[in-house]
Each structure stands twice: as C-alpha cells, then as structure tokens.
Copies of this chain bind each other. A is one copy, B any other.
Amino acid sequence: MKLTVDEIAGLVGGTVHGDGSTVITGVNGLEEAAPGDLVFVRESRYLPLLEQSKASAVLIGAVPEGCAIPAIVVGMPDLAFAQVLQHCDAEQTHHPVGVHESAHVHPGAQLGANVAVAAGAVVEDEARLGDGVVLYSGAYVGRGAQLGAGTIVYPNAVIRERCQLGERCVIHAGAVIGSDGFGFAPLGGRWAKIPQVGIVVLGDDVEVGSCTCIDRATFGETVVGAGTKIDNLVMVGHNVRIGEHCVIAGTVGIAGSARIGNHVRVGASAGIKGHLEIGDNATVAARAGVVTSVEPGRTVSGFPAIDHAEHRRVMVGQRRVPELLRRVKQLERKIAELEEKHDG
C-alpha cells in the first residue's frame, strides 16, 4: 500500500485537514502504529492514545484541538477504515489463477469461466464449479458437489460428495463440509452405523472458519442459511438447520437436528442440544449450554442456559453461598438460644 492522505480521502469521501501529500504505507491500531501508518478514532475517549500514537494520519469524525498529524474527517470512521482495509486487501491478495498442471480435475467435472484450481487441489466427477470459483492447494471437492459462482475454498478444506454451496461462500483452510453425521444404533452390544445419505446445503455468502465441521444429514439436508458466518473449530451436527445472517463464534457445538432461526448470535464455546429450536434474533451467550428451546429475541446464558438477567443474579448468588452457610449457622445458634430461654 502506498497512497497519499489526499488519495485516501478520495477513496472514503472525507475532508483533509493538514498535509494531504503525506504518504501512507499501512494501517494499524493507535498503540501499534509506526510512521507511515493510518489509524482511526471512533470515540473521543481514544483521543489521549491518538496524542501518543506514532501514526502519520488519522480517520476521525472531527479534528481534535492541536492534532499533530493530518486528519481525514468522515461521518463513520470505522466504516471508512474498513474501506481502506478493502483497498489493502485487494492489493495484497493473490488468489491462484487457472487450473494448475498438478491439480486433479476429473474429466466429468464442469468448470465455469475463470475457475482456479491450484496445485494439488482435487475436483471429482460430476462436480460443478460456478464462474470464478477459487480452489486453493489441497482443497477437495467430492463427486457431484456444487459450488456457486465466486466461492473460495482455502487450502486443505474438504467439500464431500453431493454437498451444495451457494455463491460467494468462503470456506477456510481445514474446514470439512459433509462428513458423515454421528449416527449409530445399539445392536447386540455393538454400535451399528446408520448410513448418512443426506447432504449439506450452504446458502449464498456463508463463511465457514478453519477446522469447522458441518456434518451431512442422515437423510435430507443439513442447512446453513444465506449470509451466516461461522468461526473456527465449530461443530455442526447432522440435520441441523441454521437460518440466515447468524453469527456463530469459535468452538461452538450444535448437536443434531437443532433448528436455529435467522439473525441468531451464538457466543464462543456455547453448546446447543439436539432437536431444540432457537428463535429468530435470539442470543446465546458465550459458554452457555442450551438444553431447552429459546424464544425469538431472548438472550440466554449459563448451563443449563436460562434468561440472561436471571443468570447474572444466580452467578452473583453463587459466590455468596459460603457467606450464606455462615449466616445460617449463626441463625441456628441464635434460635437455639431463644428456644432455650423460652423453655427454660
């Protein structure tokens, strides 16, 4: 990246205060910034950090008094900053291009225009890749799988047979879409495998984090709705249905056949029991263990997860149990004395 303050102001539609010819070579946080970096300030409480920052320019809502570096004034500094990040990203990103000679593309696969299949990536028979799909090295697309236009699969991620991904999905390195669901039936002291003949269907614009596993349905479909974003190391069991535009943080576990609405937020390391329903716009707090269905719009926390406000009272109460034990013991002693006086 190498842009003047004036050029960045043009990019984000801002007004320059100070030297617009200052050259910016990177972006950073207020504390980490070095000369050449652009920073942003969203709230006035960060102004003291700005004064000490080594940055060369700032994106900000209003120029503070005595601002020592060039400032670009914009309505929403964080969104403007995201635009600058987009610029950096476009500049830095070099997705693979074309089908590499060491890739294995089965002749029965169908590839759209401008598909990239990097060294060592594999596309099996009957798979269909839409225009502009990018497969990084070691990515695997199983027989009959379908990837919508613009979908990116990072190194060593696996899409198993017949699964269907929408357009512009991002599947991060090491993620696994469509492994067998965990289905076994007890049979004479052993576990007999229940064949998992279903698939996984991801809507458009779904992002799946590294080493996240979304299991195929026993039969029918495991579904993740359009626009939903899933972080790393998340487990999504067979036949789960997740709605649209949800965010699911890292190391969450969602057991088989759970149904999650639209715009649901699930915090890190939370767990959701199988066959439950989580209503639209609900929030599951980090580390919550949900064992009963959650109504739309509710926030739950704790294990077993309950209404968040009640859980806070329970957590406060929990720390006061040792004190309660002492107070009850004291009460018992006093009562005994009073009883003795009465009977005496």
Contacts and interface: CB of A to CB of B under 8 A. Distances in A.
A255 B270 CA distance: 13
Contact of A172 (B120, B174, B179): B179
Contact of A185 (B78, B94, B137): B78
A317 interface: yes
Contacts of A140: 136-138, 155-156, 173
Given A120-B122, A339-B338, A287 B314 contact: no
Interface in A302-334: 303-304, 306, 310, 313-322, 324-325, 327-328, 331-332, 334
Interface in A206-262: 207, 209-211, 213, 215, 218-221, 227, 229, 231-233, 235, 237, 239, 245, 247, 249-251, 253, 255
Given A173-B176, A195-B85, A233 B231 contact: no
Contact of A335 (B82, B156, B172, B335): B335
Interface stretch (A2-10, A26-34, A59-67, A292-300): A26-34
Interface string A113-127: 000001110100100
A211 B174 contact: yes
Interface stretch (A13-21, A43-51, A186-194): A186-194
Contacts of A249: 182, 255
Contact of A255 (B239, B268, B317, B331): B268
A194 B286 contact: no
Contacts of A148: none
